[in-house]
Amino acid sequence: MEKADPKLELRRLVFDYPKGVRAVDGFDVSLRSGEIVCLCGPNGSGKSTVLKLASGLLEPTEGEVRIDGIPLASLSKRERARLLASVPQRLEALGQSTVLSFVLGGRYARSSFLERALGGVSHQELERVEEALAETDAAELKERRLVELSGGQCQRVLVARALFQRASVLLFDEPTAMLDPAHQVQVFRLIASARDGGRSALVATHDLNLAGHFADRILLLQEGRVRALGAPGEILRPEVLGPIYGPDLHFQRLGERVLVVPWPVDAPG
């Protein structure tokens, strides 16, 4: 059941790319404050498109996005940046900027026009950037240029920037896709601590197990439609995942929970 005061509402979203590709078809979900919803589904099922609609990067063909009950379309760029932080799958143009200045760029949402005009960075702000970088294990990268980073390092810096922005809704597009196992867990821990601080997060991910552990709800997307939405225990089951991912999944009990691993159905043993 969804509460009466949702933080982020994605209402009956439909999105057609040019040339008639319907990527999202009647997507409807609301996130409460302090809730993590993981968005899972096969490649091309529409996860990134849903996140771009939620952040306002794309405008829905039909339907509406609301934050705190206010239509996203009626908010200024600055207001959006204050409410929403988005972690894309990758940066389109990496540029020559340093990690430190890139993460500081997240303050655009917070600083006043005067502060920006003066170009000053307060001591407190610098401290907060360092904090966000330390939290994502990226402190030693601060003087490096974005173009010099590995995919996983870059992903951690993107997460640091979103945390620094302190928006109340966080949108992540496969934030752990390029990370080693320890950093995958670390990024999910950071998302969970943001949730515990009252923020909401919509996280596209293929990591069903970390989603199962950290998410409040998992949403399964297939061909732009919501196929299932529920608590992890309701979703991570052969009868729910099988029709979407096929037979190459192995389900293993671990105490109260079930782990799901990709595994050839015809493997011996």
Residues whose CB is less than 8 angstroms from the CB of residue 116 and which lie 6 or more positions away in sequence, other chains included: 108
Q: What are phi and psi of 207, to 5 degrees?
A: -85, 90
Rounded least distance, CB 28 to ligand ADP, Å = 17
Residues of this chain, 22-51, that bind Mg ion according to CB under 5 A:
47-48
Q: Is the CB of 103 or the CB of 202 nearer to Mg ion?
A: 202
By CB under 5 A, residue 86 contacts Mg ion:
no
By CB under 6 A, residue 203 contacts ligand ADP:
no
Choose among ligand ADP, Mg ion, none what residue 23 binds, the Cβ cut-off being 5 to 8 Å by kind: ligand ADP
By CB under 6 A, residue 74 contacts ligand ADP:
no
Strand 225-230 relative to strand 217-222: parallel, antiparallel, unpaired? antiparallel
By CB under 6 A, residue 26 contacts ligand ADP:
no
Rounded least distance, CB 246 to Mg ion, Å = 19
Q: Is the CB of 109 or the CB of 170 nearer to Mg ion?
A: 170
Residues of this chain, 42-61, that bind ligand ADP according to CB under 6 A:
43-49
By CB under 6 A, residue 17 contacts ligand ADP:
yes
Rounded least distance, CB 215 to ligand ADP, Å = 17
Rounded least distance, CB 59 to ligand ADP, Å = 14
- DSSP codes joined into one string, the chain: ---SS-SEEEEEEEEEEGGGEEEEEEEEEEE-TT-EEEEE--TTSSHHHHHHHHHTSS--SEEEEEETTEEGGGS-HHHHHHHEEEE-SS-S---S-BHHHHHHGGGGGTS-HHHHHHT---HHHHHHHHHHHHHTT-GGGTTSBGGGS-HHHHHHHHHHHHHHHT-SEEEEESTTTT--HHHHHHHHHHHHHHHHTT-EEEEE-S-HHHHHHH-SEEEEEETTEEEEEE-HHHHSSHHHHHHHH-S-EEEEEETTEEEEEE--TT---
Question: 236 near 258, Cβ under 8 Å?
Answer: yes
- Two tokens, residue 258: 């079930």
Choose among ligand ADP, Mg ion, none what residue 112 binds, the Cβ cut-off being 5 to 8 Å by kind: none
Rounded least distance, CB 120 to Mg ion, Å = 38
Choose among Mg ion, ligand ADP, none what residue 7 binds, the Cβ cut-off being 5 to 8 Å by kind: none
Rounded least distance, CB 48 to ligand ADP, Å = 3
Residues of this chain, 79-108, that bind ligand ADP according to CB under 6 A:
none
Q: Is the CB of 48 or the CB of 168 nearer to Mg ion?
A: 48
Rounded least distance, CB 174 to ligand ADP, Å = 8
Choose among ligand ADP, Mg ion, none what residue 30 binds, the Cβ cut-off being 5 to 8 Å by kind: none
Residue numbers of the site for ligand ADP (CB under 6 A)?
A: 17, 21, 23, 41, 43-49
Residue ranges that bind Mg ion, judged by CB under 5 A: 47-48
